[in-house]
A = this chain, B = another copy of it.
Amino acid sequence: MTKELGPNLIGQVPLQDLDRLAAQIPHGAKIAVPPDYSGVAMALTRAMIRRSLRDLHVVCVPISGLQVDMLAGAGCIGTVETSAITLGEYGTAHRFQAALRAKQFRMMDATCPAVHAAIQAAGKGLPFMPLRGLLGTDLLKNRPDWQVIDNPFEKHNDPIVLLPAIKPDFAVFHAPFADRNGNVFIGRRRELVAMAHASTASLVTVEEIRDVDLLASEESAAGTLTAAYIGGIAEVPRGAWPLKLWDIYEYDEAHLKLYGEMARTAEGFARYCDEFVHDRKAAE
């Protein structure tokens, strides 16, 4: 049901259909994605699977679920950088786990504030950001990209971890609406702002384009991601389906249960994709 708007601009931002938006993402791209409750671009994820993208480096800010499970099951992923992958009450992330066991991608386990800090570092153009905690963990031991230095502001020995900035090519997420200039309403989901600042460009799906100016009032501007960060927008009603979108719509529990059952096996997942990804028996 995506409107086929063709090449177009809102403000200075390209307004694209779902497949053109997905086409901006090349094989091997590093993409940042939000947690399941924060506005996941699931319709765009299905479009990415249809394009048979390969070797994506997915940075979960700071965790993920269905999106990574599907991308892993479809063989799109080369690296997963996350603090957790969980389908919550809908069961185990079987496709993610199977692909991990089969060494189909590189796993970079983190802890939530470490992902946030490394994303914020990129958003400030910093090479690294310090973080407390992590000492003595096997997380640290398995992350050769992290370093421990001695805090130079303490006289006594005070080791502290430095995390290199994470600079994604794209922040990819779904939001309630964009305004006529391509500004996107993100409410208090400030992890979306951090992801956008850190990334070269943000690819955003929205429920709708509204003929308003989010920057016109202090109230609405406070919850806005400004258009300067955005590389493309697609208007996709129910674009987070079957996940929830904030308090706008809820998880599709029946569908998630169905997914949880079908995705137990590679064959079941393939059937799921035939039906809901390739045949587009989905929201879009």
Contacts and interface: CB of A to CB of B under 8 A. Distances in A.
Interface of A: 117, 124-132, 147, 149, 151-154, 158, 160, 162, 164, 186-188, 218-223, 246-247
How many monomers of this chain does the complex have?
A: 2
Nearest to A226: B188
A147 B152 CA distance: 8
Contacts of A188: 218, 221-222
A138 B164 CA distance: 29
Contact of A127 (B125, B126, B151, B221): B151
A149 B147 contact: no
Contacts of A147: 152-153
A78 B186 CA distance: 42
Q: Which of A219, A220, A222, A247 is packed against the most chain B CB atoms within 10 Å?
A: A222
Closest 9 CB pairs of A and B: A222-B223, A187-B218, A188-B222, A222-B222, A187-B222, A188-B221, A147-B152, A153-B164, A127-B151
Nearest to A130: B126
A151 B132 contact: no
15 contacts: A127-B130, A127-B154, A127-B160, A128-B152, A147-B152, A147-B153, A149-B149, A152-B162, A153-B164, A187-B221, A188-B221, A218-B223, A218-B246, A219-B223, A222-B222
Contacts of A187: 218-219, 221-222
Interface centre among A127, A164, A186 (most CB of B within 10 A): A127
A215 to B, nearest CB: 9
A166 to B, nearest CB: 12
Contacts of A164: 153
Given A151-B127, A152-B147, A219 B218 contact: no
A194 to B, nearest CB: 12
Given A126-B129, A128-B130, A222-B222, 4 more contacts: A128-B152, A186-B222, A187-B221, A187-B222
